[in-house]
Amino acid sequence: MTRHFLADADLNPQEQADVLNLALNFATNRHLHQPFAGPQGVAIIFDKPSTRTRVSFSVGVAELGGYPLIIDSSGSQMGRGEPISDTAQVLTRQVSAIVWRTFSQAGLEEMAHHSRVPVINALTDDYHPCQILADLMTVAQHRGGVEALPGQTLTYLGDGANNMAHSYLLGGATAGMHVRIAAPEEFHPRPKIVAQAIHVAARTGGSVTITTDVAQAAQGADVIATDTWVSMGDEESAHIRSRPFLPYQVNAELMALAAPDAIVLHCLPAYRGKEITAEVIDGPQSVVFDEAENRLHAQKALLTWLVNNS
């Protein structure tokens, strides 16, 4: 059976741990495995702009022995309305995996339905699961390994209705973490995803907290995470959209509430003075550039694991 990675919950706790351990091994030996040696092609499709996703998947596929085939939908038949099912059936006959950064989760799922090779969610409006694998790997690096993840408290502040919050809920719960989301009430995560995360956490020993209370969320947290307040496509309303999030800024005052050795995550791009202050993101508790590097290692581990298990 072909395995896909369309959302965080597509890996069970043991599978997630296996991928994260493999990612840590890739960090110490970048050419540890080369499942695409030949080279075999991997299609990497972009409907949205990207820096980290484009670089990490391109370099990652090359380091796995393969050929990264970059496809911008505007320059392909996909951008002219070709059915996803047709694209999937063409690609699946020529490449060994499909990576897609797009808007619609339903479209990604349709691609997977018609594909005989692994399909990976490189970001949709609903989830950003590859980023969360890199984030969990980063926490593991700074806490003594993957086995240290269960019981860690991860607090995310800001837009709780976006793809990062949804993936923190599912990915963190799968890892057995205590996930706290602090956001304005009108920007709380989707109830269906919260319910799914609570169900997963009940099996892993983790927990889920959704609140508007910044202090409650940050108190004693081991990991503080945030994301831009203005997602791609909302730039024109940035000044209006940002107002509700001002109390949720990650700054020195907020960090004083967290555990003394708390680390700070941000998936980038970051807007200093908005969702996070410069003294925090550029300070000693920030691990955001480890996090950015780990996109490479985590995605190589994911690709290798999917190919080996499909």
DSSP letter for each residue of 233-282 = T-GGGHHHHTGGGGGG-B-HHHHTTS-TT-EEEE-S---BTTTB-HHHHT
CA dihedral 225, 18, 145, 216 (to 10 degrees): 30
- 233 to 48, 181, 245: CA distances (angstroms): 10, 23, 18
Backbone angles phi, psi at 231, to 5 degrees: -75, 160
| Amino acid letter, residue 269 | P
Summarised one tens digit per residue, pLDDT across range 87-123 is 999 999 999 999 999 999 999 999 999 999 999 999 9
Residue 178 confidence (pLDDT): 98
Active site residue 272: no
Q: What is the DSSP letter of 165?
A: H
On the question of a cis peptide bond just before residue 39, with omega within 30 degrees of 0, the verdict is yes
Given the residues 16, 141, 227, 297, the one annotated as active site: 227
Rounded to whole angstroms, the Cα distance separating 71 from 79 reads 10
Active site residue 101: yes
Summarised one tens digit per residue, pLDDT across range 280-308 is 999 999 999 999 999 999 999 999 999 99
Rounded to whole angstroms, the Cα distance separating 47 from 78 reads 10
- Report residue 64 as tokens: 């796995």
What sign does the dihedral 181-140-20-41 (CA atoms) show? positive
Residue 77 confidence (pLDDT): 79
Active site residue 196: no
Q: Give pTM, 2 decimals.
A: 0.95
Q: Please state the separation of Cα 50 from the chain's center in Å.
A: 13
Per the DSSP assignment, residues forming a β-bridge with 286 are 264
- What stretches in the chain show pLDDT beneath 70? 231-240
Given the residues 4, 10, 16, 128, the one annotated as active site: 128
Rounded to whole angstroms, the Cα distance separating 295 from 136 reads 11
Secondary structure of residue 187 in the 3-state scheme? helix
Secondary structure of residue 95 in the 3-state scheme? coil
Active site residue 94: no
10 annotated to a ligand binding site = no
| CATH 3.40.50.1370 segments of the chain | 13-127+295-309, 129-291
Rounded to whole angstroms, the Cα distance separating 206 from 151 reads 7
Q: Class of 129-291 per CATH?
A: alpha beta
Rounded to whole angstroms, the Cα distance separating 107 from 125 reads 11
131 annotated to a ligand binding site = yes
Backbone angles phi, psi at 281, to 5 degrees: -70, -25
231 annotated to a ligand binding site = yes
* Beta strand segments in the chain, E: 41-46, 67-72, 97-101, 119-121, 153-157, 178-182, 207-211, 223-226, 263-266
Other C-beta atoms closer than 10 Å to the C-beta of 149 total 27
Rounded to whole angstroms, the Cα distance separating 162 from 230 reads 10
Residue 49 confidence (pLDDT): 84
Residue 82 confidence (pLDDT): 85
Given the residues 4, 10, 16, 101, the one annotated as active site: 101
Active site residue 227: yes
Per the DSSP assignment, residues forming a β-bridge with 99 are 44, 120
Contact between 177 and 209 under an 8 Å Cβ cutoff? The reply is no
Active site residue 34: no
Q: Find all residues with CB under 8 Å of 176, minimum gap 6, and list them.
A: 13, 149, 150, 151, 201, 204, 205, 206
51 annotated to a ligand binding site = yes
124 annotated to a ligand binding site = no
Residue 243 confidence (pLDDT): 84
Pick the CATH number of 13-127+295-309 from 3.40.50.300, 3.40.50.1370, 3.40.449.10, 3.40.190.150: 3.40.50.1370
